[in-house]
Amino acid sequence: MTRSRVKEYDGLLIGMTGAGKTSLIQRFKDNSIERSTPTNEPIEHTLVVGTCRLNIVDVGGDEESRRTLWTKLFHRRQILIVVLNTLEPDELPIMKKDLEELLKMKEASSESCLVLILTNKVDLSVDYSITVSDVLECLELSRFKNFKFGVFGTSATTGEGVEDSKNWLCKALEELPVMAYHEQSTIELALDLCLNLKDMLIGKVFDAGRRLLGQHPVLTDRKMTLTLKEEHNILKE
């Protein structure tokens, strides 16, 4: 098993419609910018940060997605990337409520998580734009003790803040508990082991049954059942 296979993580990318999250994750991936349309169906992105491979699911920001998909897809993911539209301050209280619900659900399951919050479109900032300070004040992130938060101002158009965000994410991933890794190879080995043990035990029980039938060809069903139970107890010992 190589180290690169072990350091693989699952993440969720969320934000209100029009926040620019798909364009921003594209900038994270290869420092390019592409025109994108609103996300109607979940899209999976592969993002390499340092020595880590991130499998990020990009989900729409419409009301239906926020109510159902966000909660469903956040389960057992180690990374949450939240994109806010710096030009839409009225959306901040809505995102606060949605984020609180997700984090409380995560807390209840005792799972750790990295939360990267990005205010996008800072290149278009105006007097009423959302700032990093606004985010910190509104979201009150210190209430959540089991999470590590990073908040950055970014621009998908110019790339501003992207490298700082990636550097924070890279360092934060190194500090995640080992059990938070998406250890696909380890999980596969464990499943194979369980299946092999199951097959082995079933085989032993059938072998025991065949031996008993050979020794006692006229066993009644009741006697056969009782004798097999005795054999099973022997196997357990």
Distances (CA, A) of 35 to 18, 38, 83, 205: 12, 10, 17, 62
Mean pLDDT of 209-228: 50
- What's the pLDDT score for residue 99? 96
Q: What is the DSSP letter of 36?
A: -
- The better pLDDT of the pair 1, 77 is held by 77
Estimate to the nearest angstrom the gap between the alpha carbon of 47 and the chain centroid.
13
Q: What is the DSSP letter of 59?
A: -
- The better pLDDT of the pair 42, 38 is held by 42
Residue 1 has pLDDT above 70, yes or no: no
Radius of gyration of the chain measured on its C-alpha atoms: 26
Place of tokens 């990005």: 118
**Structure tokens of 53?**
């491979």
pLDDT digits (tens, 9 = 90+) for 157-201: 999 999 999 999 999 998 876 544 444 444 444 454 455 555 556
Mean pLDDT of 66-79: 91
Estimate to the nearest angstrom the gap between the alpha carbon of 81 and the chain centroid.
11
Confidence of residue 100 (pLDDT cuts 50, 70, 90): very high
- The better pLDDT of the pair 49, 203 is held by 49
Q: Which of 61-65, 96-100, 208-212 is modeled with the greatest confidence? A: 96-100
- The better pLDDT of the pair 76, 162 is held by 162
- What's the pLDDT score for residue 198? 56
Mean pLDDT of 19-33: 91
**Structure tokens of 90?**
């009225």
DSSP string, 72-138: HHHTT-SEEEEEEETT-GGGHHHHHHHHHHHHHHHHHTT--EEEEEEEE-GGG--TT---HHHHHHH
Angle CA 230–231–235, to nearest 5: 120
- What's the pLDDT score for residue 234? 45
Cβ–Cβ under 8 Å, residues 214 and 202: no
Q: How many CB atoms lie within 10 A of CB 218?
A: 6
Residue 80 has pLDDT above 80, yes or no: yes
pLDDT digits (tens, 9 = 90+) for 124-168: 999 999 999 999 999 999 999 889 999 999 999 999 999 999 999
Specify the pTM.
0.74
β partners of residue 147: 113
Place of tokens 């107890």: 233
